[in-house]
Amino acid sequence: MQNGIPSVHTFRRVFQSLDPKELEICLTKWAQSIFKNIDNEIISIDGKTIRQASKMNGESNIHLVSAWASENEITLGQVKTEIKSNEIKAIPELLNIIDYKNSIITIDAMGCQKEIANKIAEKGEYVLALKENHPTLYNDVIRSFEKKNVADFCETLDYGHGRIKNRKCSIIKDLNCLLDKDSWRNLQSIVKIESERIIKKTGEIQKDTRYYLSSLTNVQLISKAIRKHWGVENKLHWCLDIIFNEDYSSKRVGYSAQNFAIINKIVLNVLHKDKQRTNVKGDPLFYASLRVRRKLAGWDDDYMLSLLSLI
């Protein structure tokens, strides 16, 4: 470059001034260009607050709602909302900018809303977590599982991280006990998940029961979608916090925190897309972690260029 490498202050001014909505559109278009058309792709939608930036931002919290594609392992898009309660308004906006045709959308209880279910049902399927924020419907669902026969059932057993986890998934297709069932577009089943987790070191047993609304009737697919929903926490939010230290970012002036969150997601998408996990010299990286691959991109120009070729 004629005038040398831009200083850190120049980069700071650029991130403060960039229009985040335009950058979000770029992220969405690029992510969908590398998106593989997988039948019944599970797209999990969830929000995350950038905590340190929120503490230092005198105006409002910086809360981002993101869409995570489980099989592709990429972030499809993000939308900023002022506070967590406004996720209800941000989710339809996010659905407007991503392509979720023939996909399964999973959302936690915050997004279990009739308008959101109606929006999803226009092009895809849904599995929505149900809690006491819908007291009448929640009690109707519990009553249904007490009085009606289960239409289908599956059970899974997982081992790992010092735990044994047994998960039972039951569905009911007879929805006559739900007084408001017609208000939920394409509602086909209600779901009960009974999980039991045994901590092998202590022998402690933890039990939990959760309920869902779904437009699906395949119990295996429903169970898979519910399990995969945790990918947005484990493979996106956890990575952003632990590997990218996003919660400790002090960026707060202008649009810098929001814009840098987009850059982090782009980098994470590229790292997830690097399936070979080897550098251009052919040396195996022994299934190097995301943290190691991120560092290698800074240490090895050849490896960095191989990652950039994936964009």
Is the residue at 221 inside a domain? Answer: yes
Domain count, the chain: 1
Query: What pLDDT sits at residue 13?
Result: 84
CATH number at residue 27: 3.90.350.10
Contacts of 118 (CB under 8 A, 6+ apart): 184, 185
pTM: 0.86
Cβ atoms of residues 231 and 44 within 8 Å: yes
Query: What pLDDT sits at residue 280?
Result: 46
Residue bearing tokens 């969908």: 32
Cβ atoms of residues 268 and 244 within 8 Å: yes
Of the candidates 93, 176, 173, the residue with the CA atom closest to the CA atom of residue 140: 176
Q: Tens of pLDDT along the chain (311 residues)? A: 577 788 877 888 888 888 888 888 888 888 888 888 787 899 999 998 877 665 544 556 678 899 999 999 899 999 888 665 678 889 999 999 898 988 999 999 989 999 999 999 999 999 999 999 899 999 999 999 999 999 999 998 888 777 888 999 999 999 998 988 899 999 999 999 999 888 878 888 889 999 999 999 999 999 999 999 989 998 999 998 888 888 777 676 778 888 888 888 988 888 888 866 554 455 554 567 788 888 888 888 888 888 888 76
Is the residue at 267 inside a domain? Answer: no
Is the residue at 105 inside a domain? Answer: yes
Residue 187: which domain range? 18-249
Is the residue at 128 inside a domain? Answer: yes
Is the residue at 309 inside a domain? Answer: no
Query: What pLDDT sits at residue 170?
Result: 96
Name the strands in the sheet holding 152-160, side by side, starting at the edge strand that comes first in the sequence.
Answer: 74-81, 63-69, 42-49, 104-107, 125-130, 205-214, 189-199, 163-172, 152-160
Is the residue at 282 inside a domain? Answer: no
